[in-house]
Amino acid sequence: MPADPVAIARDLLRCPSVTPEEGGALAYLQTLLSQAGFTVHRTIFAEPGTAPIDNLYARIGTQKPNLVFAGHTDVVPPGDDKAWRHPPFAGAVDGGMLYGRGAVDMKGGIACFVAAALDYLAANGAAPQRGSISLLITGDEESVAVNGTIKLLQWAAERGETFDHCILGEPSSQQALGDTIKAGRRGSLNGTLVVRGRQGHVAYPHRADNPIRGLVALIAALQAPLDQGSEHFDPSNLEFTSVDVGNPTVNLIPGEARARFNIRYNDRHSQASLRALIEHRAQAAADGRIRYAFEWPPSNADVFFTAPGPFTDLAMAAIKDVTGRQPQISTTGGTSDARFIKDYCPVLEFGLVGQTMHAVDECVPVTELVALTAIYRRIIEKYFG
């Protein structure tokens, strides 16, 4: 009997694994994968100031190439349970839809890959014919993502594990399963602009130096376009997210004003080149008259792009075989754990339609789970075929 992705997804949805809770989700996968012959490792990572996080690495086979599927079992909180049509951790099936927090992001995707792998192994003598299949599953993607994939990859590398190609099962599809595959992500860089003035009474502005004037001038200057986009990416964008003076009184000119911003940047930039560009623009606009400084907190979200090649072709062909669709290659959206995986092997993101992710009544059509399982199954077969 073929492995049932809907049953696996239901079981996973019934584990309340809101970050940082493991919720039984990894234990469930451990049992399922061990029974199928995988060697399964569980590792807990921690560091000061963050919650310890449970992670899982499973592998079957010892040969190269090692095809790895990556994902996360943690989910965002459900919010008000009563706002849901079905309880968020019940795994209810109703009208052909499977409901629950994580149905599309991304327990559904994990269930499909597990079902596809188990089905492939059952059909091929319980081991890959050549090569290995691995799963790299974290419990820390939705929150700060410091004790998850980034450390799991380091841990695996220290054990001598190598990866050849990775599918990250995030919900990449936009409107219909198979319409979009993600082959890269923009980088993300945060900054704070601090303008210094001199505090004083609002009735005597000549005795003070209002930093808000300078801040407004610099904000205007920093909003000029950063580029026109590149072959695979939209234009980079700088967005101010907060302007803060922290002044509770009405008759005081503040001594300092701050503005926070985030830049989503494409492959025309690096973090260093962006910082230099922003500081250059501020310097020109300040023209020696505005006292300012930038704060640049560290960012671990660099831009990347997985160049087209045989692996992308293989995945596209598998998607077309099952859905009839020719996926478009996209680099839009927020960051994902692919930003860490790309340092180890080429990575593509492909999974369910993401429209209800993080929403009340998150759900996935049962037929879509079956179709995604067929696509993953086809990818595995072509990869080792």
Shortest separation between residue 34's beta carbon and Zn ion, angstroms: 25
- Our CB check for Zn ion shows the closer of 102 and 178 to be 102
Shortest separation between residue 32's beta carbon and Zn ion, angstroms: 20
SS3 190: strand
Which residues are catalytically annotated? 74, 141
- Our CB check for Zn ion shows the closer of 140 and 170 to be 170
What are φ and ψ of residue 256, in 5° steps? -155, 145
* 193 beta partners: 259, 294
- Our CB check for Zn ion shows the closer of 218 and 352 to be 352
Q: Exposed e or buried b for every residue in 133-163, given b needs 16+ CB within 10 A?
A: bbbbbbbbbbbebbbbbbbbbeebeeeebeb
- Our CB check for Zn ion shows the closer of 139 and 197 to be 139
- Our CB check for Zn ion shows the closer of 106 and 215 to be 106
**DSSP secondary structure string, 74-134?**
-B-----GGGSSS-TTS--EETTEEESTTTTTTHHHHHHHHHHHHHHHHHTTTS-SSSEEE
What strands lie across the sheet with 39-45, from one edge to the other? 39-45, 53-60, 132-138, 66-72, 165-168, 347-349, 180-182, 328-330
Alpha-carbon span 100 to 17, nearest angstrom: 12
- The amino acid that residue 352 corresponds to is L
Residue 52's CB: how many other CB atoms inside 10 A? 13
Shortest separation between residue 148's beta carbon and Zn ion, angstroms: 11
Shortest separation between residue 178's beta carbon and Zn ion, angstroms: 18
**Maximum CA pair distance of the chain?**
85
- Our CB check for Zn ion shows the closer of 5 and 65 to be 5
Which one-letter DSSP state was computed for residue 5? H
Which one-letter DSSP state was computed for residue 69? E
- Report helix angle 310-323 to 366-384, nearest 10: 140
Distance, C-alpha 166 to centroid of its chain: 14
Alpha-carbon span 198 to 249, nearest angstrom: 16
Residues that bind Zn ion (CB under 5 A): 105-106, 170
- Our CB check for Zn ion shows the closer of 181 and 215 to be 181
Which residue is nearest to Zn ion, using beta carbons?
A: 105
Burial class for 275, CB neighbours closer than 10 Å (0-12, 13-18, 19+): middle
